Structure 1
Amino acid sequence: MKKYEFWRKFVIIITLCFYLTIANSPPAFASIHKYPETADRVMYRSVQSLRDTDDKAWQVVLYKRVKSGVVNSFNLRLVGFPGTELQHPVPLKVAAGDREIGKANDIWSKSDLPMNVGEYDFKLIIAQLESNQPLRLNLPVKNQPETTLLVPPFSVREWRLLFDTN
């Protein structure tokens, strides 16, 4: 009986330790990464792979640059695969449900990015998001009607966290 009691207590203690470890662990957000760029400038970014309504793949990168504790930029970069070309300079229309949130200005012309890449100033858009409601991004695709990229709630949640991160 003593041997049985020892193992019973041992299993209970190990189980309690395991549950306490899990209960006290902070949530993990694996796709928000911090990149020191210079001594006083840091980039934070969230990377997602999403598909549009035409089932084409897009890499979606939301990033911000912080210099000396001040956010310098908060941009959304869209990379189309394979060979999708975006119209420039055309703003990105953003909606949540039936509500249009606004348009993100195209800043592609300020860089040397290829035609399948769009870069948009997203600071005013992200500041308006009050919930993790899915977003619709209406992409201005060259020589085609707009295509829609659906951003799921878990991505919107991560974007809002990125907006609040310093």
Structure 2
Amino acid sequence: MTGSVIARLATAAVLTTALAASPAAATGYTPERVCGSGFHVLNEHTRSVTDHTNTLYGQVFLLYNGLTGEHCAVTMKRYSVGTPTKTLVTLLVRAGSFVPQHGETDEGAFRYYAGPVKVKAYGRCVAINGTADAPGAADASSGWGRWVECGRSPATKAIHRS
């Protein structure tokens, strides 16, 4: 290989590593830390927060705690990290046919992330959505994905008898 090809490959590797590392994580904030002990990221449900030009402004993470049966969602900023900008995360639970869905939202001018929002879904489906803004730019959104995690329940359930 020529020196210029090796240099280009090395530059691409550095850029890929830099893009993969979250600026918020560099400050010590991770989805697991924000949601708390026992939560782990469900990678297959992570959603990118992008604008109409496909610029990455953040990521929405869905986490689960098998001991408590709770789902947690957080939007981690990847742009304007450290600057308060409009950031939002919503975690919805789909209810039955005759029961309205419910959920939790956290929205504000945040420096690093929105959330955590937590719900106990107990066998019901959940969906996440996140937005992030940057000064002088249009809102970026993850959009709503499909309903996921349907039927998941805690590893252990307490039985209450009266």
Identify the TM-score tier after normalising by the shorter chain. Answer: 0.3 to 0.5
Structure possessing the higher radius of gyration over alpha carbons: 1
TM-score normalised by length of structure 1: 0.40
More helix by share: 1
TM normalised by structure 2 equals: 0.41
Highest relative contact order (Cα 8 Å, sep 6+), 1 or 2?
2
